[in-house]
Structure 1
């Protein structure tokens, strides 16, 4: 992490460290954690955990035993556990954020139904250009005709009608 290279290795350097997407953060976040007086872990247990590809568990065990021997919760520092996993194992209380602002309601509805028991409340207001309904609109252009030139077919009146409709979005 860049923190190791740019900040002094001083315990409690920051009053508060916030780790967002903690369900995707591995033990690589340890240099940041040691600099925190307090830690706020933000994550989602329904999201993917970090990949432990290329990490040898035996090497992690050696380092953990050498440098963290006797430290509480050191056993949770494994390549398979995310920071979110560790925090939820150590601390019982958590808060689930129920309002969702990131995705279009039609997109989050799948996850909401299949993973969150419809507890998520979509809050994003769609821009007119993002509205999905209706997905297809038929517009009749009575004056349209197809021109054929060099094996290309062009209907200029229909093209202009499409442009005018797009301007309305």
Structure 2
């Protein structure tokens, strides 16, 4: 449902507000997906640090060297207050035009639907003279509905223009911020670059931790790291970032997220309770022993269960207001027939399947009932054999089709 894209847009918006963002996830893959969106779709590669990656220090050093040597758009003196203000005003003007045009288009669509329903009622009533009179009396208004296709084309063009202006404004705001930093805190970046050039990794990290992180966050307001690598790249400083975003929170255990929350002034926790959950090798007996030693009340133990509760579970049970919960309901990725199954079985039909077409069939999912039950090891041999037989059949059919 576009969780990664939503995280990227939230991070970009925070940058425009002059805020710093830390994005973490259980896996490096999830972090890389968001980093790629920020770099490719929002062109914010110069504003982010993919911390914890093997080339982390090298990439960071190269980026700072380019800034100091004037080989960066932020070094351009033409990035002025007036230029930034003009870009923002253009964006606001197009946004107001879009809002007005959308309201008019929705109004005409609702009007057209009412007319259509009226016509359908007259046709079903088989009253020819009433239907003819209605078509004659309202012929001018009905013809006007055809003009809405032209209005829709205008609206689509306006949305594309808004996206271009948004990207332009984001780039100018980013370059302006870095321009001001180079003007007033260049010495801080010089010191930091010197620390990074140290050959020994221990000296690199020591110089890194002594850095003025406020200046560094102005240079790179977006930081991304896996939860496991966080301690290697950032000092344990309280409320270090304006916003910390935890992705794939269903797969993240509570303990692993605590260092990220320690660095947060505010947090956004993203996940899907229906997806794969985290797993733990901590025995239930050992967990109960630890909970008793720490004096956890019995009614809190479920909430603080390392084995059973994910970060998403903890947040869900702790929120005081439903207004703090946002459900992303527009689905783009799967085949309509496949996601429709999950939509009905798990999401109470609340997902909007955006790629659905009226003509799509339901032939992508077939239920096969087999007998059998799980043995002591949790294996249903009859079910497994039926699955292998079906896969073999599909492979044979594909091979024959290629011949």
TM-score range, shorter chain: 0.5 to 0.7
**1:101/1:115 Cα in 2 relative to 1: closer, same or farther (>3 Å)?**
same
Which stretches in structure 1 are left out of the alignment for 5+ residues? 136-157, 163-169
More helix by share: 2
Counterpart check, 1:53 vs 2:53: no
Counterpart check, 1:14 vs 2:241: yes
Q: How many positions carry a matched residue from both structures? A: 128
Give, in angstroms, the shift of residue 125 of structure 1.
Answer: 7.7
Q: What is the root-mean-square deviation of aligned Cα atoms in Å? A: 3.4
Give the conservation status (yes or no) of the 8 Å contact 2:251–2:278: yes
Deviation digits for residues 94-143 of structure 1, max 9, x if unmatched? 121111123232221111011112110122489xxxx99999xxxxxxxx
- Give the structure 2 partner of residue 103 of structure 1: 334
- Give the structure 1 partner of residue 266 of structure 2: 38
Task: Give the match's secondary structure for 2:309.
Answer: coil
Task: Give the match's secondary structure for 2:245.
Answer: strand
Task: Give the match's secondary structure for 2:333.
Answer: coil
**1:123-134 mapped onto 2 (5 Å cutoff):** 123-124=354-355
**1:41-120 mapped onto 2 (5 Å cutoff):** 41-54=269-282, 56-58=286-288, 61=291, 65=294, 76-79=303-306, 80-91=308-319, 92-93=321-322, 94-120=325-351
More strand by share: 1
Q: TM-score, normalised by structure 1?
A: 0.61
Task: State the structure with bigger RCO (CA 8 A, min sep 6), 1 or 2.
Answer: 2
Give, in angstroms, the shift of residue 17 of structure 1.
Answer: 0.9
**1:120/1:134 Cα in 2 relative to 1: closer, same or farther (>3 Å)?**
closer
- Give the structure 2 partner of residue 25 of structure 1: 252
- Whole-Å separation in 2 of the counterparts to 1:83 and 1:134: 37
Which stretches in structure 2 are left out of the alignment for 5+ residues? 1-227, 365-400
